[in-house]
């Protein structure tokens, strides 16, 4: 039996870090204000800018504050988490202390009497072959065990190096090649076939929109969640939204205006 709820809010790609205090404060406010108004909250990955192991929390007052906020939220509303590409090392200790329930990627849920397939979205970007090879390696349990056995300052150094490389590669992409970093219809069609669904929600691409798509005889709808960034106005319009699903339908909730 898949989880069933009459209403839900879905968010992703907050990339929380101490260097983005306005974004973090909006998440804390979200946990206090909007989130408790529905039956379930789904966080579809990349809650943090990076995660190098649950043991790092004891050395990070910021991560402890986020942990407390989610733990408090979990006492009011059912809260789910699905790993992203930045924080796939979030483990059972953090999940348990926050009171969240960990979902596999992808997962199916029922909200407002309709079935929805949830994913982070990075596995759907199959045109980016280099990234998919990298992803297949870092998701191997034995690779993760080796990484998590390293000293904490080494792990942080590796994470920061990977973040820098990822940012530089994105900036150097010619405009016509950015499609490599978006999901492909073939990947979306495949995951929806496997899940026997026709409604897909994901994050990762930072391209919030509602799409009506098809491939051959297969037809589906796809909602993309927004990333959050209230700390870098020079990079464009401030961003923070959630997808609200209830008996009235589906709509994006602008969290900047609230």
What CATH number is attached to the domain comprising 104? 3.60.21.10
Domain annotation covers residue 176: no
d(CA 149, CA 176): 41
- Residue 135 near residue 224, CB atoms below 8 Å: no
pLDDT for the residue numbered 77: 97
Domain annotation covers residue 166: no
Domain annotation covers residue 40: yes
pLDDT (tens digit per residue) in 24-33: 999 999 999 9
pLDDT (tens digit per residue) in 114-142: 999 999 999 999 999 999 999 999 999 99
Which regions of the chain are under pLDDT 70? 166-180, 258
Domain annotation covers residue 197: yes
Domain annotation covers residue 220: yes
Q: 3-class DSSP state for residue 86?
A: coil
Domain annotation covers residue 145: no
d(CA 116, CA 221): 10
Domain count, the chain: 1
Domain annotation covers residue 179: no
Q: Which domain holds residue 215?
A: 4-125+184-254
Domain annotation covers residue 161: no
pLDDT for the residue numbered 151: 93
**Model pTM score:** 0.93
Q: Where are the alpha helices (DSSP H) in the chain?
A: 21-32, 61-74, 92-98, 129-138, 141-148, 152-172, 185-195
């Amino acid at each position: 039996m898949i989880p069933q709820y009459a209403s839900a809010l879905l968010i992703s790609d907050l990339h929380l870090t101490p260097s983005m205090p306005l974004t973090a404060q909006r998440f804390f406010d979200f946990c206090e204000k909007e989130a408790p108004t529905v039956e379930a909250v789904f966080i579809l990955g990349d809650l943090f800018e990076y995660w190098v192991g649950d043991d790092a929390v004891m050395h990070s007052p910021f991560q402890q504050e986020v942990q407390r906020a989610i733990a408090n939220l979990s006492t009011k509303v059912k809260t789910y988490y699905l790993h992203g590409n930045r924080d796939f090392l979030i483990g059972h200790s953090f999940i348990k202390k926050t009171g969240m329930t960990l979902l596999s990627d992808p997962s199916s849920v029922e909200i407002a009497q309709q079935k929805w397939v949830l994913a982070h979205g990075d596995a759907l970007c199959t045109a980016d072959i280099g990234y998919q090879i990298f992803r297949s390696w870092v998701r191997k349990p034995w690779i993760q065990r080796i990484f998590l056995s390293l000293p904490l300052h080494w792990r942080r150094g590796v994470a920061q190096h990977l973040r820098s490389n990822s940012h530089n590669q994105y900036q150097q992409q010619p405009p016509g090649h950015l499609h490599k970093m978006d999901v492909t219809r073939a990947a979306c069609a495949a995951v929806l076939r496997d899940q026997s669904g026709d409604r897909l929600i994901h994050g990762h691409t930072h391209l919030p929109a509602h799409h009506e798509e098809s491939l051959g005889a297969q037809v589906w709808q796809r909602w993309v969640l927004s990333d959050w960034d209230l700390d870098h106005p020079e990079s464009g319009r401030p961003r923070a939204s959630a997808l609200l699903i209830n008996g009235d339908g589906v709509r994006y909730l602008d969290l900047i205006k609230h």
